[in-house]
Amino acid sequence: MTAYLEVVGATKRFGETRAVDQVSFQLERGEVLALLGPSGSGKTTVLRLLAGFETPDAGRVVVEGDDVTAVSPARRRFGMVFQHYALFPHLDVGENVGFGLRGRADAATRVARALELVDLGGFERRLVHELSGGQQQRVALARALAIEPRVLLLDEPLSNLDPSLRERTRRELRHLIARLDITTIFVTHEQEEAFDLGHRVAVLHEGRLEQLATAEDLYERPATLFVAGFVGRANVLRGAAARAFGGKDGHVAVIRPERLRFADGGVAGVVRERRYIGATALYLVESDAGDRLEVLAEPDAAAVGDRVYLETTRVISLAEPEVPR
């Protein structure tokens, strides 16, 4: 089975810094990929390379077997939803959505259909600055979808929405993407968003693709120490501490807080802090050897000052990175 969208060795330098460094991946038709990473990790640049706003210094972008690396954004037919939506302030909603349909006989029907898709049917003559943030976001989405793009690109699609609105919008977005069966790539710095929307998640760090996998694989089987630390909470142990929990010699042991539990025997320590979260509590335990460990357990499992013993149910062993980060 050949890939629908393929990025091969994409590299982009800005001056001395490599914003994107040898990034390669393949997507199937209809797949949704989340680009996840801290700010400055290059995720937005990858999206802009795909959209054609940046030209890679090396590498290729291929869609449906068609090399579009040198194709201008205008001819690429990749729909893009911008972080601040970039709605044209001098045009009304209908004109915004119909911008990419100029000269087509069925433009009006397509505009109406695109607006229906995002639940804004009949909004054609409204002015964009009269709309709420959520409505603006949906207009931007309708505008990108109206051209029937080969790939949908979303730059932090939910970051400008109120937290109360974010979850609902995310659900609607997930359903819409699934219904249209459109190949989608979106940028986010929020793990929950990436896990919820993305079929697979690509974690970027300093321009490099650290790992591309399903959410579960990223969490349970991180490929690098960076991924282990960036995705979810992690106790990172080395040397004797790692060995005490059964880690492999010469490797770094990563233990998720929920994989530690209070037991009758094991590594001894004292509870220094307890943070009550609701269903659970997060305990900070200082072992006798001086290591600090986060433990996720039931709210009444221990109290500050208690002497406790820790066991683990799962250790992730990772090679020490070549350059310490």
Q: Please, are residues 268 and 307 in contact by the beta-carbon 8 Å criterion?
A: yes
Residue 40 touches another protein, criterion: CB under 8 A: no
Q: Shortest Cβ distance from residue 62 to another protein (Å)? A: 18
Tell which one of 19, 128, 176, 316 touches another protein (CB under 8 A): 128
Number of chain positions touching another protein (CB under 8 A): 32
Residue 56 φ/ψ, nearest 5 degrees:
-70, 145
Establish if 56 lies at the interface with another protein (CB under 8 A): no
CB of 76 to another protein, least distance (A): 8
Only segment of 32-40, 86-94, 107-115, 209-217 that touches another protein (CB under 8 A): 86-94
Nearer to another protein, 90 or 179 (CB): 90
Select from 42, 52, 56, 269 the one that contacts another protein (CB under 8 A). 52
State which residue, 113 or 208, has the beta carbon closest to another protein: 113
Helix (H, G, I), strand (E, B) or coil at 17: strand
Question: For another protein, which residue of 13, 18, 29, 77 counts as binding (CB under 8 A)?
Answer: 77
Helix, strand, coil percentages for the chain (3-state, nearest 5): 30, 35, 40
| Pairing outcome for strands 281-287 and 251-255 | unpaired
**Which of 81, 17, 22, 15 has its CA nearest to residue 47?**
81
Q: How far is CA 136 from CA 115, 118, 177, 214, in A?
A: 12, 11, 18, 31
Sheet holding 235-237, edge to edge: 235-237, 251-255, 316-319
To the nearest 10°, report the CA torsion of 214, 216, 222, 223.
-30
According to the binding rule CB under 8 A, does residue 144 interact with another protein? yes
Among the listed residues 7, 36, 51, 260, the single contact to another protein using CB under 8 A: 51
Q: What are the tokens at 208?
A: 């490099």
Residue type, 126: R
Q: Name the segment binding another protein (CB under 8 A); options: 24-32, 84-92, 223-231, 317-325.
A: 84-92
156-185 residues in contact with another protein (CB under 8 A) are 160
| Touching another protein, residues 305-324 (CB under 8 A) | none
- Nearer CB in complex with another protein: 22/83: 83
Task: Decide: is 129 part of the binding site for another protein (CB under 8 A).
Answer: yes
> CB of residue 173 vs another protein: minimum separation in angstroms?
18
